[in-house]
C-alpha cells in the first residue's frame, strides 16, 4: 500500500480523511483536490518557492489543506498561535515575510489590527466573514484540481521563542524532493511507535498551531488514517469522541491526562476506550503518579517522547517507562542523545548536564538569527537548553531547563518576553518571571517585581500590572500571581540569580518526575 495523501487519494479516494468539529467529513480525494487547487491559486497570486503563508485558524480543515498545499507547492506554512495579541501576530507576520494570511472569523479582529500595523501587509483571506479580507474560497475558485507542475517539497516554519523572548522561526532549507517521497518518509516516524498504515483513526485534541499536533495529524493522513478534529478541548468530549469514532491514536499533554483523571469515576467508566492502541504524550514533564494512573486506566498504550520544534529525540514505550519511572525515553533509531558538562565533556550516568540531540536529517536555522543558530550547535548536535541525565541503560531523565522556559499545559512560555513587557511599566524597577508548580497545568507563570523608587507594593499594584499585561500579552503568558521584593538578587555585573527566587516555590513540591 502506497503512503502519502496523493497516492491514497488515487487508490482509495472515498476513504474519510478529516472529520471536523461539527461532524462534517472530507475524503482523501477531496483533500488532495483542495490542496492541488490551493497551489494553483497561490501561484496565481504570485507566490513562488520559499514564500510564506501564515495561518491564524481554529482546528478546521483549512489548516491541513494549507499544509498539504505548502508541501507540494514549495511554500513555508507558518501556523500562528490564535491566542496571541495583535502586536504579537504582527511581529510574526513581519518577521516571516508572509505573503498570504488566512484566518478564521473568530480571530478576525486581532488579525485586522495586526495587518493594519504592517507597512507591507500580506494578501488576506478568511474562512468566515472578516471585514476587508477576501473569502478563503476565492483562492481555489476556477482553479484546476490537477497536480500542479513543478511540485517542490515545502515545509512548516513554526515560531518558537528563545532567550531574547522574541519568537524565532525554525526554518529548514527546502530541497527539490518529490513531495510524494517526503510524505512517505514522514510516516516512518509513526513506525517508531508501532503504528500501522491505513487502519487507524487519529484524534487531534489540541490546536493545530502546535508543532507536534500538526506533525502527528499530517503524518496520520499520509499514513492513511482518518483525523478527527476537536475545536475546544474538554475531557469528557475526548472520551465521547474516542468511543464514537473508534479512535486508535492521539497526541496529548500531561494536563489533559490530569483533567481526564479528575472526572468522576462514573463518567470515566461510561465510555468504551478499547479501540485505543497508541496515545503519545510530550511537551511537559508528566508526574509519575499521573502516568501510572493513566496506564492503569487505558492500559499499555501510552508512549512518551522527548523532542522540540527544532527536532529530537527519545521515546519511552509503556513497558520501558514502567521499568524506568519518570524517564522521557531512550534515543530513537537514527538519533543520538548526549549529556555534556560545561566544558563539553560527557557526563557520567546519573550526573546532570546539558542535553544535546543529533541533528541527523533535521538541520535547521533560526530565521534571521545566525548567532542563536550557532550557539545551540556542537559537533552535529543541537540543544534547546534542557538539563538532564542518562541512566546506565541510556534512558534520559529531565531535571531543569537551563533556558528558564516555562511549560504550562504543554505550551512553551518564555519569561524574557514577559519581563520585557512588565519593565515598560513606569512603576516597575526590576522584574523576574519564572514557573512555579501548578497541580493542573504543571507550571504557572509567577512574576516577582521590584517596585520603582517611591512606589508602594501591594495588591493594588499587582492588579494594575495584571491589567497592564492585557492587550500586550496573550492570556496564557500573563502572570497568574505577582509578588514583590525590595531588591532582586543580582550580582555586581547585573546577573540575576533567578534560582534564589524560584527554588523556595519548588522546595516542597512533589514533582516526582
Whether 348 and 390 have beta carbons less than 8 Å apart is answered as no
Dihedral in degrees, nearest 10, Cα atoms 378, 384, 386, 388: -40
Q: How is residue 169 written as a grid cell? A: 522561526
Q: Give the per-residue pLDDT at 471.
A: 86
Among left, alpha and beta (phi > 0; psi -120 to 50; other), residue 192 is alpha
Q: Give the per-residue pLDDT at 503.
A: 85
Q: Cα angle vertex 280, ends 276, 286, to 5°?
A: 120
Please report, in angstroms and rounded to a whole number, the separation of the first and last CA atoms in the chain: 41
Residues in the chain: 513
Residue by residue, pLDDT tens for the chain (513 residues) are: 678 999 999 999 999 999 999 999 999 999 999 999 999 999 999 999 999 999 999 999 999 999 999 999 999 999 999 999 999 999 999 999 999 999 999 999 999 999 999 999 999 999 999 999 999 999 999 999 999 999 999 999 999 854 445 788 988 888 888 999 988 888 888 988 999 998 899 999 999 999 889 999 999 999 999 999 999 999 999 999 999 999 999 999 887 888 898 899 999 999 999 999 999 998 666 778 889 999 999 999 999 999 876 667 899 999 999 999 999 999 988 889 999 998 999 999 999 889 999 876 556 666 766 766 666 778 888 888 888 899 999 999 987 566 677 888 888 787 878 888 898 898 998 899 999 998 888 899 999 999 988 999 999 999 999 999 998 999 999 999 999 999 988 754 455 778 789 888 887 664 443
Q: Give the per-residue pLDDT at 412.
A: 76
Q: What gap in Å lies between CA 74 and CA 57, rounded to an integer?
A: 21
Whether 324 and 339 have beta carbons less than 8 Å apart is answered as no
Q: Give the per-residue pLDDT at 278.
A: 98
Q: Give the per-residue pLDDT at 513.
A: 39
Predicted structure pTM score: 0.81
Element (H, E) at 370: helix 370-375
Residues with Cβ within 8 Å of residue 144, at least 6 apart in sequence: 36, 37, 40
Element (H, E) at 116: helix 108-116
Q: Give the per-residue pLDDT at 512.
A: 41
Q: What gap in Å lies between CA 149 and CA 396, rounded to an integer?
A: 45
Which domains occur in the chain, in start order?
A: 5-232 (3.40.50.12780), 406-506 (3.30.300.30)
Burial grade of 140 (CB within 10 A; 0-12, 13-18, 19 or more): buried
Q: Give the per-residue pLDDT at 420.
A: 80
Q: Give the per-residue pLDDT at 239.
A: 98
Q: Which residue has the cell 557520567?
A: 348
Dihedral in degrees, nearest 10, Cα atoms 93, 95, 97, 102: -20
Three-state secondary-structure class, residue 174: coil
List the one residue out of 469, 3, 60, 482 whose CA is nearest residue 200.
3
Q: Give the per-residue pLDDT at 171.
A: 87
Three-state secondary-structure class, residue 167: strand
Residues with Cβ within 8 Å of residue 231, at least 6 apart in sequence: 21, 58, 59, 60
Q: What gap in Å lies between CA 5 and CA 15, rounded to an integer?
A: 11
Q: What gap in Å lies between CA 361 and CA 374, rounded to an integer?
A: 17
Q: Give the per-residue pLDDT at 163.
A: 40
Q: How is residue 389 written as a grid cell? A: 541525565
User: Helix/strand/coil (H, E, C) string of 132-154?
Assistant: CCEEHHHHCCCCCCCCCCCCECC
Q: Which residue has the cell 498570504?
A: 100
Whether 326 and 397 have beta carbons less than 8 Å apart is answered as yes
Q: Cα angle vertex 299, ends 298, 301, to 5°?
A: 90
Helices 179-186 and 5-12, packing angle to 10 deg? 90
Amino acid at each position: 500500500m502506497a503512503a502519502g495523501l496523493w497516492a491514497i487519494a488515487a487508490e482509495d479516494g472515498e476513504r474519510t480523511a478529516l472529520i471536523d468539529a461539527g461532524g462534517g467529513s472530507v475524503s482523501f480525494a477531496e483533500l488532495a483536490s483542495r490542496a492541488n487547487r490551493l497551489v494553483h491559486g497561490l501561484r496565481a497570486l504570485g507566490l513562488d518557492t520559499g514564500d510564506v503563508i501564515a495561518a491564524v485558524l481554529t482546528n478546521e480543515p483549512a489548516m491541513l489543506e494549507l499544509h498539504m498545499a505548502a508541501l507540494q507547492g514549495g511554500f513555508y506554512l507558518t501556523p500562528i498561535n490564535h491566542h496571541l495579541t495583535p502586536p504579537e501576530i504582527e511581529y510574526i507576520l513581519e518577521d516571516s515575510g508572509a505573503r498570504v494570511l488566512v484566518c478564521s472569523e473568530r480571530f478576525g479582529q486581532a488579525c485586522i489590527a495586526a495587518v493594519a500595523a504592517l507597512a507591507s501587509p500580506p494578501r488576506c483571506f478568511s474562512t468566515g466573514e472578516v471585514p476587508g479580507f477576501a473569502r478563503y474560497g476565492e483562492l481555489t475558485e476556477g482553479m484546476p484540481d490537477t497536480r500542479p507542475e513543478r511540485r517542490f517539497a515545502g515545509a512548516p516554519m513554526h515560531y518558537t521563542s528563545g532567550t531574547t523572548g522574541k519568537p524565532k522561526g525554525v526554518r529548514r532549507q527546502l530541497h527539490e524532493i518529490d513531495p510524494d517521497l517526503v510524505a512517505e518518509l514522514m510516516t516512518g516516524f509513526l513506525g517508531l511507535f508501532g503504528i500501522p498504515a491505513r487502519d487507524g483513526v487519529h484524534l487531534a485534541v489540541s490546536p493545530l498551531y502546535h508543532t507536534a499536533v500538526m506533525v502527528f495529524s499530517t503524518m496520520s493522513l499520509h499514513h492513511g488514517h482518518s483525523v478527527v478534529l476537536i475545536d475546544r478541548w474538554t475531557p469528557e468530549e475526548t472520551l465521547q469522541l474516542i468511543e464514537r469514532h473508534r479512535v486508535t491514536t492521539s497526541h496529548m499533554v500531561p494536563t489533559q491526562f490530569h483533567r481526564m483523571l479528575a472526572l468522576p469515576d462514573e463518567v470515566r467508566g461510561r465510555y468504551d476506550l478499547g479501540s485505543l492502541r497508541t496515545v503519545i504524550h510530550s511537551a511537559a514533564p508528566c508526574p509519575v503518579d499521573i502516568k501510572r494512573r493513566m496506564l492503569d486506566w487505558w492500559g499499555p498504550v501510552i508512549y512518551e517522547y522527548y523532542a522540540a520544534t527544532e527536532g529530537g529525540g527519545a521515546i519511552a514505550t509503556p513497558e520501558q517507562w514502567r521499568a524506568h519511572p519518570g524517564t522521557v525515553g531512550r534515543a530513537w533509531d537514527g538519533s543520538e542523545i548526549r549529556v555534556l558538562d560545561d566544558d563539553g565533556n560527557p557526563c557520567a550516568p546519573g550526573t546532570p548536564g546539558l542535553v544535546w540531540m543529533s541533528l541527523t536529517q533535521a538541520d535547521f536555522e533560526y530565521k534571521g538569527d545566525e548567532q542563536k543558530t550557532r550557539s545551540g550547535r556542537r559537533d552535529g548536535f543541537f540543544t534547546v537548553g534542557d538539563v538532564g541525565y542518562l541512566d546506565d541503560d541510556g534512558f534520559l531523565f529531565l531535571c531543569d531547563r537551563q533556558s528558564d522556559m516555562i511549560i504550562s499545559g504543554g505550551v512553551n512560555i518564555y519569561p524574557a518576553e514577559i519581563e520585557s513587557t512588565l519593565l515598560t511599566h513606569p512603576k516597575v524597577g526590576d522584574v523576574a518571571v519564572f514557573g512555579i508548580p501548578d497541580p493542573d497545568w504543571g507550571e504557572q507563570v509567577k512574576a516577582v517585581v521590584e517596585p520603582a523608587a517611591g512606589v508602594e507594593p501591594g495588591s493594588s499594584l499587582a492588579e494594575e500590572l495584571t491589567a497592564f499585561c492585557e492587550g500586550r500579552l496573550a492570556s496564557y503568558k500573563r502572570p497568574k500571581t505577582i509578588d514583590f521584593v525590595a531588591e532582586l538578587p543580582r550580582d555586581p555585573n547585573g546577573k540575576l540569580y533567578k534560582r534564589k527566587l524560584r527554588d523556595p516555590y519548588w522546595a516542597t513540591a512533589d514533582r516526582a518526575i
